[in-house]
């Protein structure tokens, strides 16, 4: 994954892009008085959902001090390119900052972005000062935010960075890579699942999730033992199982009604001693 150039100026958003939580955002009007954090994400990305609580807290902590978070929703799946589905996810997740609906990947291409999530932090002059791809480095990111805010107002009183929300988020955590995502179709269209059908996968990691679409109950079992029962309520990411550290399991999802299955997704855990 190639790093961005650090001497580039912040790109303006396309004039015709649709926004959620804002009628229109022009980056040029923010410069001078604000630092701008542009965050690429997808509501079906487990890594994005795991990073989101930090973004929400930074928005709460630093909005009045000059930080502006602008999210860019670039979808992995066709249904996530429909603005109604994105708006519903934003409401469910409690996101209050502006979100650009990047259904055609225009902003993604302008940035040369390659991964969900990714963030780019710009100073008040529109110069890129920090970036990070994927999960992690939350403390480093928050300290970079604070540095840019102090450049706007050197008298700001700033809190300590957010404490790690999970063990793998600590700066010194030794993390073991999880099983890669598994798409059910190469073109990322959903695979039809019949009532009574089961989907199983052996995985390693600390968290397992799936992108599913349907309405009705599904039963999740781990290593042949019932783990939880959940209700599908439309196309989105469903978190299935979580453990404290990196573990290996057989995950089975049994559908009681017809559904569409798009992807199994896994998150890292602490490395085993």
Residue 95 has pLDDT above 90, yes or no: yes
Whether the predicted pLDDT of 244 surpasses 90 = no
The fraction of the chain above a pLDDT of 90, given in percent, is: 92
Domain spans of the chain, in order of start? 18-165, 175-270
- Give the residues across from 39 on adjacent strands: 71, 119
The CATH class of 18-165 is: alpha beta
Lowest mean pLDDT among 5-14, 34-43, 189-198: 5-14
How, if at all, do strands 35-41 and 67-73 pair? Answer: parallel
Chain-wide mean pLDDT for the chain?
95
Q: What is the tens place of the pLDDT at every residue in 174-201?
A: 999 999 999 999 888 999 999 999 999 9
Per residue in 139-167, pLDDT (tens digit) is 999 999 999 999 999 999 999 999 999 99
pLDDT at 109: 94
2: pLDDT strictly greater than 90: no
| 175-270 classified as CATH 2.60.120.260 | yes
Q: How confident is the model at residue 5 (pLDDT cuts 50, 70, 90)?
A: low
Asked if the model's pLDDT at residue 70 lies above 70, the reply is yes
The pLDDT of residue 186 is: 85
DSSP per-residue string spanning 46-100: HHHHHHHHHHHHHHHHHGGGTEEEEEEE--SSGGGGSHHHHHHHHHHHT--S-EE
> Residue 126: pLDDT above 90?
yes
Burial 189-224 (b: 16+ CB within 10 A, else e): ebeebeeeeebeeebbbbbbbbbbbbeeebebbbee
Query: For residues 204 and 247, is the Cβ–Cβ distance under 8 A?
Result: yes
List, for residues 96-109, the tens digit of each pLDDT value: 999 999 999 999 99
Give the strand order in the sheet containing 118-122. 18-20, 99-101, 67-73, 35-41, 118-122, 128-133
pLDDT of amino acid 187: 87
Whole-prediction pTM value? 0.94
């Amino acid at each position: 994954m190639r790093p961005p150039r650090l001497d580039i100026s912040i790109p303006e958003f396309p004039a015709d892009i649709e926004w959620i939580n804002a009628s229109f955002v022009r980056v040029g009007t923010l410069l001078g008085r604000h630092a701008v954090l542009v965050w690429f994400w997808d509501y079906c990305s487990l890594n994005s959902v795991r990073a989101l609580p930090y973004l929400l807290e930074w928005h709460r902590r630093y909005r009045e001090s000059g930080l502006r978070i602008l999210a860019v929703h670039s979808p992995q799946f066709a249904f996530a390119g429909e603005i109604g589905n994105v708006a519903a996810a934003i409401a469910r997740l409690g996101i209050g900052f502006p979100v650009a609906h990047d259904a055609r990947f225009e902003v993604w291409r302008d940035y040369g972005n390659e991964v969900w999530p990714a963030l780019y932090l710009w100073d008040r002059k529109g110069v890129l000062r920090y970036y990070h791809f994927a999960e992690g480095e939350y403390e480093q990111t928050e300290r970079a935010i604070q540095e840019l805010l102090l450049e706007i107002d050197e008298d700001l009183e700033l809190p300590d960075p957010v404490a790690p929300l999970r063990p793998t988020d600590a700066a010194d955590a030794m993390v073991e890579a999880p099983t890669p995502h598994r798409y059910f179709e190469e073109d990322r269209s959903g695979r039809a699942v019949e009532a009574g059908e089961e989907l199983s996968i052996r995985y390693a990691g600390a968290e397992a999730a799936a992108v599913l679409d349907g309405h009705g109950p599904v039963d999740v079992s781990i290593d042949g033992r019932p783990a939880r029962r959940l209700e599908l309520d439309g196309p989105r990411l469903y978190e299935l199982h979580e453990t404290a550290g990196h573990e290996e399991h057989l995950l089975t999802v049994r559908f009681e009604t017809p559904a569409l299955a798009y992807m199994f997704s896994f998150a890292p855990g602490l490395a085993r001693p």
